[in-house]
């Protein structure tokens, strides 16, 4: 039996999901039938699209007159500093895991110094590029708020209230995956792949895992800034890490085989977050 407040929350969820998917899919459809996905219009749209979840959340809050009281936009540092550090370290751990799993599965012998030399840079140059990209990720996290204000600040808390955590983690990821369909189909996500359906499913899986980590960080730190930092650092620092395995990655044509290490790395980090980060949070609340 769903109570009144859950019904009201479910209504707001429907409005938000309808708005965010409309803002994502409708312009993409218009561009597809007019200029086509190869046009500059699609690339301009892909620059502005990440801000649509935040716009949808603001519009939903306006329509439902709920204000910003339950928003987790403001950062909380006292007692939560460790989650901000975790938001920077987890992407690095995730990417290192991805390289380790990839190397174990597809490479006979992995030598870090040799690989850095293959890139035509010195060790110092590679490490300074890595720190430079992590620094960019840390500062440019504000760009990721366009998505996090929608997903972690609005969708996930409300879904959790109505459906509980396990269903939220899966259903929320599926919503984000559907939102990403224009980017997947236009080739901005995985490049030009033949099997678009498989690419959409893979994108949904990646979204479920990434958003699960973001949800855990947001819940523990009581702010969406940690989730934004996580996404930003992983986005900007992945080129430095993945350049170490580019040669071998180019030889793999199967989409799932290519991304299997990424899925495994993300899944490991999700398990870590649920077991350790979530548990610490629970113990702190009980205390």
Helix (H) or strand (E) holding 36, with range, is: none
* Interaction mask 131-160, other proteins, x per CB under 8 A: xx--xx-xxx-xx-----------------
Q: Whole-angstrom Cα distance, residue 77 to residue 71?
A: 16
Beta strands in the chain (DSSP E): none
Q: Whole-angstrom Cα distance, residue 137 to residue 129?
A: 12
Give me the least distance between CB of 128 and other proteins, in Å please.
4
User: Which parts of 17-36 interact with other proteins (CB under 8 A)?
Assistant: none
Which candidate, 74, 62, 52, 244, places its Cα nearest to that of 150?
Answer: 52
Nearer to other proteins, 170 or 246 (CB): 246
Number of residues that bind other proteins (CB under 8 A): 25
101 in contact with other proteins (CB under 8 A):
no
Nearer to other proteins, 125 or 164 (CB): 125
Give me the least distance between CB of 44 and other proteins, in Å please.
5
Could you tell me which stretch among 12-20, 117-125, 191-199, 207-215 binds other proteins (CB under 8 A)?
117-125
Buried-state track 66-103, b at ≥16 Cβ within 10 A, e below 16: eeeeebbeeeeeeeeeebbebbbebbbebbebbbebbb
| Dihedral (Cα; 155, 161, 162, 165), 10-degree rounding | 80
Give me the least distance between CB of 143 and other proteins, in Å please.
6
Q: With H, G, I as helix, E, B as strand and everything else as coil, classify residue 194.
A: coil
Tokens matching residue 229? 């930092």
Buried-state track 26-40, b at ≥16 Cβ within 10 A, e below 16: ebbeebbeeeebeee
Give me the least distance between CB of 35 and other proteins, in Å please.
13
Could you tell me which stretch among 40-48, 92-100, 108-116, 248-256 binds other proteins (CB under 8 A)?
40-48
Q: Whole-angstrom Cα distance, residue 161 to residue 10?
A: 9
* Interaction mask 43-82, other proteins, x per CB under 8 A: xx--xx-------------------------xxxx-----
Could you tell me which stretch among 11-19, 106-114, 122-130, 210-218 binds other proteins (CB under 8 A)?
122-130
Give me the least distance between CB of 137 and other proteins, in Å please.
9
Give me the least distance between CB of 138 and other proteins, in Å please.
6
Task: Answer whether 199's CB lies under 8 Å from 184's CB.
Answer: yes
125 in contact with other proteins (CB under 8 A):
yes
Task: Answer whether 9's CB lies under 8 Å from 158's CB.
Answer: yes
Q: Whole-angstrom Cα distance, residue 155 to residue 165?
A: 12
Nearer to other proteins, 68 or 271 (CB): 68
Tokens matching residue 142? 């504000």
Give me the least distance between CB of 219 and other proteins, in Å please.
18
Task: Answer whether 197's CB lies under 8 Å from 251's CB.
Answer: no
Could you tell me which stretch among 96-104, 125-133, 152-160, 169-177 binds other proteins (CB under 8 A)?
125-133
Nearer to other proteins, 130 or 267 (CB): 130
The footprint of other proteins (CB under 8 A) covers 40, 43-44, 47-48, 74-77, 122, 124-125, 127-132, 135-136, 138-140, 142-143
């Amino acid at each position: 039996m769903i109570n009144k407040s859950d019904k009201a929350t479910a209504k707001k969820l429907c409005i938000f999901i309808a708005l965010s998917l409309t803002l994502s899919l409708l312009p993409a459809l218009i561009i597809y039938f007019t200029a086509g996905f190869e046009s500059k219009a699609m690339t301009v749209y892909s620059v502005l699209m990440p801000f649509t979840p935040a716009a949808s959340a603001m519009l939903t809050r306006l329509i439902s007159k709920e204000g910003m009281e339950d928003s987790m936009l403001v950062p909380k540092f006292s007692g939560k500093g460790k989650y901000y550090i975790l938001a920077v370290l987890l992407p690095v751990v995730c990417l290192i895991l991805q390289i380790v799993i990839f190397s174990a599965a597809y490479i006979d012998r992995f030598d870090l110094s040799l690989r850095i030399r293959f890139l035509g840079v010195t060790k110092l140059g590679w490490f300074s590029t890595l720190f430079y990209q992590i620094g960019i990720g840390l500062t440019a996290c504000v760009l990721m708020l366009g998505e996090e204000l929608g997903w972690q600040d609005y969708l996930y808390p409300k879904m959790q209230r109505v459906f509980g955590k396990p269903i939220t983690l899966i259903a929320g990821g599926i919503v984000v995956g559907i939102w990403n369909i224009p980017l997947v189909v236009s080739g901005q996500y995985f490049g030009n792949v033949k099997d678009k359906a498989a690419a959409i499913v893979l994108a949904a899986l990646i979204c479920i895992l990434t958003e699960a980590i973001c949800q855990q960080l947001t819940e523990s730190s009581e702010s969406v800034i940690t989730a934004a930092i996580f996404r930003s650092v992983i986005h900007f620092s992945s080129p430095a890490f993945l350049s170490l395995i580019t040669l071998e990655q180019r030889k793999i044509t199967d989409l799932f085989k290519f991304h299997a290490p990424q899925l495994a790395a993300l899944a490991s980090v999700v398990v870590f977050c649920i077991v350790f980060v979530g548990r610490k949070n629970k113990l702190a609340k009980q205390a």
